[in-house]
Amino acid sequence: MELDCVEGDRTAAMHDVPVAVPSAPTVDDQSVEVEVDVEDPAAMAHSANEATKNAAVGEKVKGQYFNVGPRYVNCKYVGEGAYGMVASAKDTVTGKSVAIKKISPFEHQTYCQRTLREIKILTRFRHENIIDIRDVLRAPTIDLMRDVYIVQCLMETDLYKLLKTQHLSNDHVCYFVYQTLRGLKYIHSANVLHRDLKPSNILLNTNCDLKICDFGLARIADPEHDHKGLLTEYVATRWYRAPEIMLNSKGYTKSIDVWSVGCILAEMFSNRPIFPGKHYLDQLNLILDVVGSPSAEDLKCIFNDKAREYLKNCAFRPKKPWQNLYPNADPAGLDLLDKMLTFNHNTRITVEDALAHPYLKTYYDPADEPVCEEPFTREMEYDDLPKEQLKRLIWDETQLLKHRIDSTSSMDI
First to last CA, the chain: 41
Task: Mark out the alpha helices in 125-238 (DSSP H runs).
Answer: 159-165, 170-189
Rounded to an integer, what is the distance from CA 29 to the centroid of its chain? 27
Q: Measured at the alpha carbon of residue 141, what is the angle toward residues 135 and 142, in degrees to the nearest 5?
A: 90
Q: What is the C-alpha to C-alpha distance for residues 154 and 205, in angstroms, rounded to an integer? A: 9
Element (H, E) at 402: helix 387-412
d(CA 317, CA 177): 29
Residues 40, 72: Cα–Cα separation, whole Å: 28
DSSP bridge pairs for 148: 103
Biggest CA-to-CA distance, the chain? 88
Cα separation values, 132 from 42, 154, 168, 212, Å: 43, 10, 26, 10
How far apart, in whole angstroms, are the C-alpha atoms of residue 153 and residue 135?
A: 10
Q: What one-character DSSP code corresponds to residue 209? A: -
Alpha-carbon distance of 36 to 165, in angstroms, equals 47
**Rounded-to-integer distance, Cα 187 and Cα 87, Å:** 26
What is residue 77's three-state secondary structure? strand
DSSP string, 274-302: S---SSHHHHHHHHHHHH-PPPHHHHTT-
Verify whether residue 196 is a known catalytic residue. Answer: yes
Kindly state the DSSP code that residue 130 receives in the 8-state scheme: B
Q: Which among 267, 87, 237, 82 has a CA at the least distance from the CA of 176?
A: 267
Other CB atoms within a 10 A radius of the CB of residue 71 amount to: 16
Would you say 101 is a known binding-site residue?
Answer: no
* Nearest Cα to Cα of residue 97 among 79, 78, 113: 78
Catalytic residue among 147, 171, 196, 257: 196
CA distance 268 to 278: 21
The annotation places the binding site for ATP at: 102
The annotation places the binding site at: 102
- Catalytic residue numbers? 196
